[in-house]
Amino acid sequence: MVTSYIGLGSNLGDREKNINSAIERLKHLKDTRVSGVSSIIETKPVGGPPQEKFLNAVVKIQTKLSPKQLLRELQDIELQLGRIRSVKNGPRTIDLDILFYGNKRIKEKDLIIPHPRIKERDFVLIPLGEIAPQIVKRLSNEDNKKDKYSKAVNKKSKAG
């Protein structure tokens, strides 16, 4: 079993329902167990056309699926929940990204792990900091620009 973190985002339709349905489907993935779920936070869209705010969450899983298999399963869930890919960074009913897959580093055309957007984005760092504070701390220690982690790290210390 490998520990992996999945980032979820939705800014189209019933956002909360979309996030919760995706979490339910993650719970039913073969050879996979959900072992942590962050709270759902609302965030401003970053990049892309003007669009509604997002709801975001991060889920921790233990899985026997390979990174490629996992990506395919996530894309299946995106389709089941009615995601249509139109504009880049445009509105989406659901977006499921593999943030981490154990300590594995992958750089392929269709799969980059750790996910390249993690460090720049509060919408990942804040929920990730909630269920994996040690990872956010490590990212912050590795990085010169520590400011961007402050919200994720402080939030953790407030929560205890």
Name the residues that contact ligand ADP, by CB under 6 A.
Answer: 71, 85, 89, 95, 97-98, 110-113, 115
Closer residue to ligand ADP in complex, CB, 8/152: 8
* Cα–Cα distance measured from residue 78 to residue 95, given in angstroms and rounded to the nearest whole number: 7
> Residue 121 catalytic?
no
Give the H or E element holding residue 25: helix 15-27
How far, in whole angstroms, is CA 14 from its chain's centroid? 18
Among 63, 73, 91, 97, binds Mg ion (CB under 5 A): 97
* Cα–Cα distance measured from residue 58 to residue 60, given in angstroms and rounded to the nearest whole number: 7
Residue where the block lists tokens 């010169």: 144
Q: Active-site residue among 15, 83, 121, 122?
A: 83
- DSSP for residue 143: -
Closer residue to Mg ion in complex, CB, 80/154: 80
Which partner in Mg ion, ligand ADP, none is near 2 (CB below 5 to 8 A by kind)?
none
Cβ count near 29 (within 10 Å): 18
* Least gap, CB of 95 to Mg ion (angstroms): 4
Q: Active-site residue among 15, 25, 97, 122?
A: 97
* Cα–Cα distance measured from residue 97 to residue 67, given in angstroms and rounded to the nearest whole number: 11
Closer residue to ligand ADP in complex, CB, 10/140: 10
* Least gap, CB of 160 to Mg ion (angstroms): 32
- Residues annotated as catalytic are 83, 92, 95, 97
